[in-house]
Amino acid sequence: MKIITPRNCRLAMMLAGMLLAGAAVAEPDGKSEPVAPKAKDHPLKEIWSGYHFQSEETRAQQDDADANPAMEHYKAGEKFWSKVAGKSKKSCSSCHGDAAKSMRGAGTRFPLYYPISKRMINVEDRINLCREKFMGAKPWDLGSKELLALSVFVKRQSLGARVTPQTSGPAANFFDKGKTFYTTRRGQLDMACTHCHDKYAGKKLRGLTLTQGQSNGYPAYRKTPGKTVSLGQQINACLIRVRAAPLAAGSEDLLNLETYLAWRGQGLPVETPAVRE
C-alpha cells in the first residue's frame, strides 16, 4: 500500500473532511434489510444494498417498473432474446427457451471462472460467447446498447434471488487479485475503493450519499449521469473521481474486481436494474 506523499496529502485530506461532515442515512421504511457476512475476514459488519442509502423517491422509482428508466433496456433485451442472428440462424430462446425459467438464478453466480480462457467472465462475456459459439454471430461491442439491454434482461430473471459468487477453486486467485485492487491506493487522491465504500458508507460527499459499493443492482440507472450503466462503467466512473486511470472494458483487472465485489455482497438480493442517485 502506498504512503501518502505531500503532493497528494492535501487532496486526500480535503476528501476525507467532506466525508466526515456528512451524517449517516436513516433506515428505509421496512424496505431494506442487512445481510450478515459469512466470512470472518469480511470488511463490513453488515452488508447493505445500495438501495438502503437512496432517497424515498429513488427507491420508489426502482420499485415501480413503469417509472424505472432502465426498464427500457429490459424491454429491448426481451426482443434481443428472441431475435434470430448469425450463421446458425438461432436466437437465445432457441437454446434456452423461456428466460423466466432457464435464466432464473443465472444473475446470482457471475463472474464465473471460464476454463477455456482461464479467467473470470461476467454476464456480458457469457452472452458474447454464446453469440460466437452457438449462434455464429459477431460479439457485441462491450458497452454497446445491445449488450447492455440483454444483460439487463438476463439478470432481471434472478430478481430477488440471493447473490452467490464463485470465489474458491480456480476462481480463488482472481478473487485475491480483485481484493488487492480494491484495497490499493491509486489516482491523484491516493485513495482505495475501501476508503469510501467500507469506511465512509452512509456519509455525504458533495450532496450524494456514499453506499457500500455493492454490485447486486447492476446494470443500473444512475441519475448522475442520467443513464443506465454496466458495473464496469460504474467502476470506471469511481476511478475517474479519484483521478485514476479507468480500466479497459473486459480487462482482467475489471473482472477480478467484479469478482471481489460480488463476494462483498454475498447474500444480497439481485435488484437489476436498480436506480441509484
CA distance 232 to 91: 26
Task: Read off the amino acid at residue 72.
Answer: E
φ, ψ (nearest 5 deg) of residue 209 = -90, 125
Paired sense of beta strands 119-121 and 208-209, if any: unpaired
Q: Which of 166, 42, 62 is nearest to 105 (CA)?
A: 166
Instruction: Check whether 233 has a pLDDT greater than 80.
Output: yes
The CATH T-level fold of domain 6-66+171-276 is Cytochrome Bc1 Complex; Chain D, domain 2 (1.10.760)
Residue 95 known to be catalytic:
no
DSSP secondary structure, 222-254, as one string: ETTTTEEE-HHHHHHHHHHHTT-PPPPTT-HHH
Q: Which member of 92, 95, 130, 238 is catalytic?
A: 238
Q: Taking the domains of the chain in order of start, what are their residue ranges?
A: 6-66+171-276, 71-156
Instruction: Check whether 22 has a pLDDT greater than 90.
Output: no
CA distance 217 to 270: 6
At 31, the pLDDT band (50, 70, 90 cuts) reads low
pLDDT in tens, 128-174: 999 999 999 999 999 999 999 999 999 999 999 999 999 999 999 99
Would you state the cell numbers that stand for residue 61, as one nine-digit string?
A: 422509482
101 vs 8, residue with greater confidence: 101
Instruction: Determine how many CB atoms are found less than 10 A away from the CB of residue 28.
Output: 17
Query: Is 139 within 8 Å of 146 (Cβ atoms)?
Result: no
CA distance 45 to 198: 10
CA distance 101 to 82: 15
Same fold, 6-66+171-276 and 71-156: yes
CA distance 157 to 208: 30
pLDDT in tens, 117-128: 999 999 999 999
Instruction: Determine how many CB atoms are found less than 10 A away from the CB of residue 251.
Output: 13
Q: Candidates 1.10.260.40, 3.30.1390.10, 1.10.3720.10, 1.10.760.10; correct CATH number of 71-156?
A: 1.10.760.10
Identify the weakest region by mean pLDDT among 27-41, 106-120, 197-211, 219-233: 27-41
Dihedral angle sign, alpha carbons of residues 81, 255, 273, 148: negative
At 32, the pLDDT band (50, 70, 90 cuts) reads confident
Dihedral angle sign, alpha carbons of residues 237, 122, 119, 104: positive
Looking up cell 433496456 gives 73
Segments of the chain assigned E as strands: 112-114, 119-121, 204-205, 208-209, 220-222, 227-229, 274-276
CA distance 47 to 88: 44
pLDDT in tens, 34-58: 999 999 999 999 999 999 999 999 9
pLDDT at position 2, please? Answer: 40
